[in-house]
A and B are shown apart, each in its own frame.
Chain A
Amino acid sequence: MDALAGLRPCLIEVKACRQAYHKDASADLVVLDDVNLTLREGEIVALLGRSGSGKSTLLRIVSGLLKPTAGSVRWRGNQIAGPTEGVAMVFQSFALFPWLTVQENVEIGLEARGVPRAKREALSEAAIDMIGLGGFENAYPKELSGGMRQRVGLARALVVYPDLLLMDEPFSALDVLTAETLRTDLIDLWVDGKLPVKSVLMVTHNIEEAVLMCDRILVFQSNPGRVANELTVPFPHPRNRLDPDFRQLVDDIYGIMTRRAPVGPKTAATAPVSPLATPLPRVGTNIMSGLMETLAAEPYDGRADLPALAGSLQYEVDDLLPLGETLQLLRFALLEEGDILLTEQGHRFVGADTDERKAIFAAALRLHVPLVTMIRQVLDERWNHRASAVRFRDELEDHMSPDYAEDTLRTVIAWGRYAEVFSYDEEAEQFSLEDIE
């Protein structure tokens, strides 16, 4: 198969693509940096990565919805400008028009092309039947379950006979069982050659989903988004999740994704240049305690295999990895080749009572989270022990996008409140030392 792949016509060619948002104060915020991607006919390719790794941005660049800051995107050899003919997209949120029936939703792409009504009806009828929506033609989206809605999204994309089907985390808004049914249905159609597309490019943060469905996986790293690794999935369809080779590949990808970024300076407290450059994910203290307690207890006894842990907790990579990394940042745990280990500090935390836990957490914050240190320092220096949050937000925004800055600030506020390092007045947007001894 691989030998043939080079001969198949090339659909999309992305070269040296870079996407950055301009920021007045400091350097540009780079979302994607030097990304290359070639997509040929007859393959399903996954863009796998954590949220914020720019994979959805790349998908939008490929679809022509977004123009890259630099680099070239060629569709069948021609530079693209604007949404490409021959590309159809499936959205994570389904993006169905609530005021149109299933059939009208499916027909919208045809209507945009000016296909006459009779032909439109015939085509949409066929697509609706193929995707298993027969009988729902006159239903409105709000009458349907999530799984049925995404089927409408699929039918709407397939009915235009696109050469390339783009899917942006198509199953992540669905429950586990529904998502699995949709995945297998789609793969069955693909294997039987019934899917009227030449190639599929999908964005996912679910490692098993990527291994289950795709021929090739591009693993993204964050900050800035880059392709960290490219893997070929050699298994024939239908694939078995329990197959040892399948498990091994999933394990390997977990390893790749938890590996520390090989480039760039260490973002530890020792780097005085920009102690605020690390975005913090929205991870709560309860879930941290919960994970530490789980790790400390049977059957893990302080060490767990990430895929197994994810499976038993019903977590996806996007839930588990930020959590693990946060614990690592605070030195409560370590990530090693797809495993997570509880540290000495972590064990101490688990064994402590509420007040001791707060003390341990506070110490960890002040040692390892420069933003917390900085806020507390400012508060200690001020005569009234108050400081506006706006100032810290502005400083964060010099290093990251406003959304990340907001998330980071929120996280730090929650942590600081829990550890009683400072208190915060939401209405006044002010940090203070009220009720803190």
Chain B
Amino acid sequence: MAAGWRLPNLWDAAAFLCVIGALVAVGHVARGTLTRIDAPGATQITLDPLNLPAYAVRTTLRMFAALAASLLFTFTYGTAAAKSRRAALVLVPVLDVLQSVPILGFLTFTVVFFMSLFPGQVLGLELAAIFAIFTSQAWNMAFSLYQSLKTVPADLAEASASFHLTAWQRFWKLEVPFATPGLVWNTMMSMSGGWFFVVASEAVSVGDNTWTLPGIGSYVALALAKKDLIAVGWAILAMLAVILAYDQLLFRPLVAWSAKFRFETTAGATASDPWMLRLMRRTRLLKFAGERVGDATSFIGGLRLSFGRRPRSATAPEPSRTVDIAWIALLALTMAAAVWRVVLFASQSLDWADVETATGLGLITLLRVVVLMIVASLIWVPIGVWLGLRPEWARRAQPVAQFLAAFPANLLFPPFVLFIVHFSLSPDIWLTPLMVLGTQWYILFNVVAGAAAFPGDLKEVASNFRIGGWLWWRKVMIPGIFPYYVTGAITASGGSWNAAIVAEVASWGDTKLQAHGLGAYIADATDKGDMSRVVLGVVTMSAFVVLFNRLLWRPMYAYAQRRLTLG
């Protein structure tokens, strides 16, 4: 370290410029955020492509603000759920349901809420957009942390106890590092999911007012309204640039770095460092800063905070049953009160016919999702297997598929809409593919990963015994990739439900296309500001998603884990 004090090198100059650039951008956005809504230019959008970089920065920073909020949520909620048995009784099921709720339907109300917090300020709108993104990111991150905390290896937990680590030290020295790889991966997934929402949440109409926050999403909305296909093209290009940038600058290095925390005792094949991580390691300035940050975290994590509690022995005393009973009783009461409130609210403006309508539309959307999953699987499984079995191709295909999954599919809607309008096709059928446009890639890249991990000796057995054709698929390849396929399909189908709200209704200039379905029902009710129907639609959709998961995907996943996992 002593030899490290030399003049900054060329890498430093490059890094320095990057840092300054980022600071300037943040300052610019902060100025835009803290103005009044009626200030000139505060909520106006122009289709001049020269403005796009600035819009892209605004959109990206919204993403990261939401990401920060999600991390905060993850570390509080996830930790509480894992640490307290009684809290977990409530927190875990709630998280499970939240994961399946299409928050997009609530956008209008969150906008009203945040606007009332900061009347007349752009900040209110910004917070509403950030909140929408947050709701698309936080749940799976919190789940990932919760799951990791619950599966900390027993011997390491014992070692921590026997060396007298306090609860605080244990959290930072054992539990957080153990959770890091999963959390980084889920953060990356969340980030991809978030783009979809950021684009949908920038242009919001509440009743008669329509507000647009400067950003790529509202740029596209305006382009759609003005039928400007070239502007849409520019927006797609800007989006590509942004995603490529954060993927290369942030997530590649982060994923490579987090491999250090992977819990494996044997040295695996290590991929070469991504260029950004190399840059960080070579640049004296950044390296120095990184080490300081590392030291600081290690210092904070090393503090002997014990919260007044001695490290307990591994077997805690039997938890009190009376407190348990009281707690469960309290929960039951709260539940009953909540149900009562919902019934009161619903009975004012809804009757059974509404429920029937919503359920019927839900079935239509369900049919769409099922058909889409089948079609997408029929297309992408063979392609994924083909790619995965060729390592050369798999290496190239994997990042591309991940990249496509991150791309907000709603930006790609306009060409489709144009196509449907031009040939006057049935929206009920032709709007459907839009639902899976962004989510099908999860199937592809999981299948590629599965086929790439397929053991070489089994491949040799298959060719040695001349197993080919349909038999090869049935007995060799499909069982081999099935666990991976299910993982991808779960994500894809969940995303498709959410996308229904945006995909079942589409417009091009004055032309409005609408398909029959629960998504369109929610979107329609949102437009009219009909709160009770939005709630009904969202609740119905959540119920469909939860049931779909419980009755189809969970058993399938459990089966795959039990019977088809190799090794």
Instruction: Please list the residues of chain A having a beta carbon within 8 angstroms of any beta carbon in chain B.
Output: 60, 63-67, 81-83, 85, 87-89, 91-95, 97-100, 108-109, 111-114, 140-143, 149, 156, 160, 427
How many chain-B residues does the 8 Å CB contact rule pick out? 34
State whether the Cβ of B391 lies closer than 8 Å to any Cβ in chain A.
no
Interface residues of B in 158-184 (CB under 8 A from A): 158-159, 161-166, 169, 173-174, 177, 180
In contact, A113 and B158 (Cβ under 8 angstroms): no
Contact A63-B177, Cβ < 8 Å, known A98-B261, A142-B265: no
Which residue from chain B places its CB closest to the CB of A156 in the assembled complex? Answer: B163
A-B contact pairs, 19 of them (CB 8 A): A60-B314, A63-B162, A65-B158, A65-B162, A65-B313, A66-B314, A83-B163, A87-B162, A89-B158, A98-B264, A100-B173, A108-B163, A109-B163, A111-B169, A111-B173, A112-B169, A142-B264, A142-B267, A160-B163
Cα–Cα distance between A76 and B508 once the two chains are bound (Å): 83
Residues of A contacting B164 with CB < 8 Å? 83, 85, 109, 112-113
Which of B130-138, B304-312, B369-377 is found at the contact surface with chain A? Answer: B304-312
A3 shortest CB reach to chain B, Å: 34
Cα–Cα distance between A66 and B265 once the two chains are bound (Å): 27
Cα–Cα distance between A176 and B173 once the two chains are bound (Å): 33
Cα–Cα distance between A100 and B159 once the two chains are bound (Å): 14
Cα–Cα distance between A141 and B153 once the two chains are bound (Å): 16
Cα–Cα distance between A149 and B267 once the two chains are bound (Å): 13
State whether the Cβ of B156 lies closer than 8 Å to any Cβ in chain A.
yes
Cα–Cα distance between A52 and B552 once the two chains are bound (Å): 41
State whether the Cβ of B155 lies closer than 8 Å to any Cβ in chain A.
yes
In contact, A83 and B261 (Cβ under 8 angstroms): no
Cα–Cα distance between A65 and B174 once the two chains are bound (Å): 17
Contact A95-B156, Cβ < 8 Å, known A88-B163, A112-B304, A427-B563: yes
Cα–Cα distance between A33 and B153 once the two chains are bound (Å): 28
Cα–Cα distance between A66 and B304 once the two chains are bound (Å): 23
Residues of B contacting A92 with CB < 8 Å? 155
In contact, B177 and A97 (Cβ under 8 angstroms): yes
In contact, A91 and B159 (Cβ under 8 angstroms): yes
Contact A67-B313, Cβ < 8 Å, known A99-B260, A427-B563: yes
Residues of A contacting B275 with CB < 8 Å? none
Residues of A contacting B169 with CB < 8 Å? 111-112
Cα–Cα distance between A427 and B555 once the two chains are bound (Å): 13
Cα–Cα distance between A82 and B164 once the two chains are bound (Å): 9
Q: Knowing that A64-B162, A112-B304 touch, tell me 19 more A-B residue pairs with CB under 8 angstroms.
A: A60-B158, A65-B162, A66-B313, A67-B315, A81-B313, A83-B161, A87-B162, A89-B158, A91-B158, A93-B155, A95-B155, A95-B156, A97-B173, A98-B261, A98-B262, A111-B169, A142-B264, A142-B265, A149-B265
Residues of A contacting B166 with CB < 8 Å? 112
A132 shortest CB reach to chain B, Å: 20
A89 contacts which of B159, B267, B302 (Cβ < 8 Å)? B159
Residues of B contacting A156 with CB < 8 Å? 163
Interface residues of B in 441-474 (CB under 8 A from A): none
State whether the Cβ of B424 lies closer than 8 Å to any Cβ in chain A.
no
B198 shortest CB reach to chain A, Å: 33
Residues of B contacting A89 with CB < 8 Å? 158-159, 162
Cα–Cα distance between A97 and B175 once the two chains are bound (Å): 11
Cα–Cα distance between A142 and B270 once the two chains are bound (Å): 12
B265 contacts which of A64, A67, A98, A99 (Cβ < 8 Å)? A98
Which residue from chain A places its CB closest to the CB of B303 in the assembled complex? Answer: A114
Cα–Cα distance between A276 and B370 once the two chains are bound (Å): 49
In contact, A112 and B313 (Cβ under 8 angstroms): no
Residues of A contacting B315 with CB < 8 Å? 66-67
State whether the Cβ of B266 lies closer than 8 Å to any Cβ in chain A.
yes
In contact, B311 and A111 (Cβ under 8 angstroms): no
Interface residues of B in 540-564 (CB under 8 A from A): 563
In contact, B313 and A82 (Cβ under 8 angstroms): yes
A272 shortest CB reach to chain B, Å: 35
State whether the Cβ of B340 lies closer than 8 Å to any Cβ in chain A.
no
Which residue from chain B places its CB closest to the CB of A80 in the assembled complex? Answer: B313
In contact, A82 and B312 (Cβ under 8 angstroms): yes
Closest 6 CB pairs of A and B: A109-B163, A95-B155, A95-B159, A89-B162, A99-B261, A99-B177
State whether the Cβ of B345 lies closer than 8 Å to any Cβ in chain A.
no
State whether the Cβ of B11 lies closer than 8 Å to any Cβ in chain A.
no
Cα–Cα distance between A82 and B315 once the two chains are bound (Å): 10
State whether the Cβ of B416 lies closer than 8 Å to any Cβ in chain A.
no
B290 shortest CB reach to chain A, Å: 16
Write out, one digit per residue, whether chain B residues 291-333 have a CB within 8 A of any chain A CB (1) or not (0): 0000000000010100000111111010000000000000000
Cα–Cα distance between A89 and B156 once the two chains are bound (Å): 12
Residues of A contacting B313 with CB < 8 Å? 64-67, 81-83
A389 shortest CB reach to chain B, Å: 15
